[in-house]
Amino acid sequence: MPVPRMRESPAAESRMPTVVYVDPDRAQLRLFEAEFGARFRLTLSSSAEELLEQVQAVAPVAALLADHASGRELLQAAPPALADTERLLVARRAELYAARAAVERGAASRCFLKPWVAGEVGAALEDAVRIFELRSQLRTLRSRLEQSERLASLGRVSAGIAHELAGPAAYVAENASALRRELAGVAAYVRRVSRIRPDARVLERLRELSEIVQDVEAGAEHVRQVSRGFTGQLRAEAPIERCDVPALVEQVARLVRPELRGRALLSVVGGPLEVQASPLRLTQVLINLLVNAGQAVASVERTEVGRVRVRWTTLATRGRIEVRDDGPGLPEAVKRGEHDALFTTKPPGSGTGLGLSLCHELVTEMGGTLELRSQSGHGTRGRIELPLAR
């Protein structure tokens, strides 16, 4: 069996990459542990075959030191977990020529004569750990660069889409305004006729039509503002001002109710509250949270319709807005990736991965905080806190 040796270490040290030594000579393993146990996080094995079985559990492996016989087997069957590992060989004098040939082929980076000298091997291992860490940093930078390029491409595409949306949104807003004026004339006529022949149903329908037109105007104006924001003017046109939370939540509720219809019952609860915020940005955040909540409660089979609630309260210096749902809760992947742009768990074509990341950014820019709490099987709560209006 392998002889694993993971030193008990503090939290910071537990993140150190691993140094692996493979040698069938257990005396050499004990000597290696005594010499380097205080400097590196070690895993020791007496068999290449057994190490290959457990290597996934000890990754990331910064350096692999092996006697020539074991090393030959490891180099021939190296798993992906050892792809970035610095590989070092120790060889008896009779095996030294073959070990140097492996170095010349690029299969290993260095070889040492056995019995090895602690100073030489120690310096080589420190170099190997540094190289491994530099490779890890390079991968991280490459990933961030690729993400930045994707965001830039998405930004260019979004700007084009936003430009195309601006025209239709303007037409909708203008026609809704004209319809509201015409509807006012119709309403005045109906009220005159109702004095002679009252009809409560007609008056109720007129009231509903007026609310529908109002919602269309609000939705079209929101699309126009978001469109301008995509073209680079959002920061200049979204000033922080006194924001009436109950009125804003009511407007958001009207906008998202069609999205939630058949998925969840939406309720809003709260008293008077004014915060310092951008109404446009806060609207975007609440729409995103409510749509996500509706998708969450609809993602599981249930005998009754799900529930989504928006509740706001006043604290000492801040206002708090909470969005709760009784869905299945956030998957662990979402909890880990909620701050990452382009992270999404939705199927391809169903999400850009910008939702939660953008929400965090928008709330932070308004001087507030956004916190997501979730428990498996017990729903999710999004909590926004913003400064009270001055």
Q: Residue 262 belongs to a domain with what CATH number?
A: 3.30.565.10
In a shared domain, residues 102 and 178: no
Expressed as residue numbers, the domain containing 75 is 13-116
In a shared domain, residues 33 and 164: no
In sign, the C-alpha dihedral spanning 190, 196, 197, 199 is positive
Domain assignment present for 132: no
Residue type, 226: V
In a shared domain, residues 156 and 221: yes
Better pLDDT: 206 or 301 = 206
In a shared domain, residues 223 and 247: no
Domain assignment present for 133: no
In a shared domain, residues 243 and 378: yes
Q: By C-alpha distance, which of 291, 319, 310, 300 is closest to 389? A: 319
In a shared domain, residues 81 and 185: no
Domain assignment present for 137: no
Backbone angles phi, psi at 32, to 5 degrees: -60, -40
In a shared domain, residues 251 and 339: yes
Lowest mean pLDDT among 106-120, 200-214, 322-336, 344-358: 344-358
Q: Residue 43 belongs to a domain with what CATH number?
A: 3.40.50.2300
Query: Predicted confidence band at 344 (pLDDT cuts at 50, 70, 90)?
Result: very low
DSSP designation for 116: P
Q: Helix 48-58 to helix 68-76 angle, to the nearest 10 degrees?
A: 60
Which are the contacts of 196, defined by CB distance < 8 A and separation ≥ 6? none
Better pLDDT: 155 or 253 = 253
In a shared domain, residues 264 and 384: yes
Domain assignment present for 304: yes
Lowest mean pLDDT among 77-91, 169-183, 366-380: 77-91
How many structural domains are present in the chain?
3
Q: Render pLDDT for 287-306 as a digit per residue (tens, 0 to 9).
A: 889 988 888 888 777 777 78
Domain assignment present for 127: no
Domain assignment present for 8: no
Domain end, chosen from 203, 236, 269, is at: 236
**Measured in whole angstroms, how far is the alpha carbon of residue 310 from the centre of its chain?**
23
What average pLDDT does the chain have? 78
In a shared domain, residues 84 and 222: no
Do the bridges between strand 110-113 and strand 86-91 make them parallel or antiparallel, or are there none, so unpaired?
parallel
What is the rounded CA–CA span in Å between residue 345 and residue 333?
8
Which are the contacts of 250, defined by CB distance < 8 A and separation ≥ 6? 268
Domain end, chosen from 205, 236, 267, is at: 236
User: Averaged over 213-223, what is the pLDDT?
Assistant: 81
What is the rounded CA–CA span in Å between residue 216 and residue 255?
9
Domain end, chosen from 180, 213, 236, is at: 236
Query: Predicted confidence band at 80 (pLDDT cuts at 50, 70, 90)?
Result: low
Domain assignment present for 112: yes
Better pLDDT: 254 or 158 = 254
In a shared domain, residues 250 and 388: yes
Tokens coding 41: 């996080």
In a shared domain, residues 154 and 270: no
Long-range contacts of 168-177 (CB under 8 A, 24+ apart): 169/220, 169/223, 169/224, 169/227, 170/220, 170/224, 172/216, 172/219, 172/220, 172/223, 173/217, 173/220, 173/221, 173/224, 176/213, 176/216, 176/217, 176/220, 177/217
User: Averaged over 51-61, what is the pLDDT?
Assistant: 64
Q: Render pLDDT for 138-188 as a digit per residue (tens, 0 to 9).
A: 888 777 777 666 666 565 566 666 667 777 877 787 888 888 888 888 888
Tokens coding 314: 């006043």
In a shared domain, residues 279 and 374: yes
Domain assignment present for 354: yes
Length in residues, the chain: 390
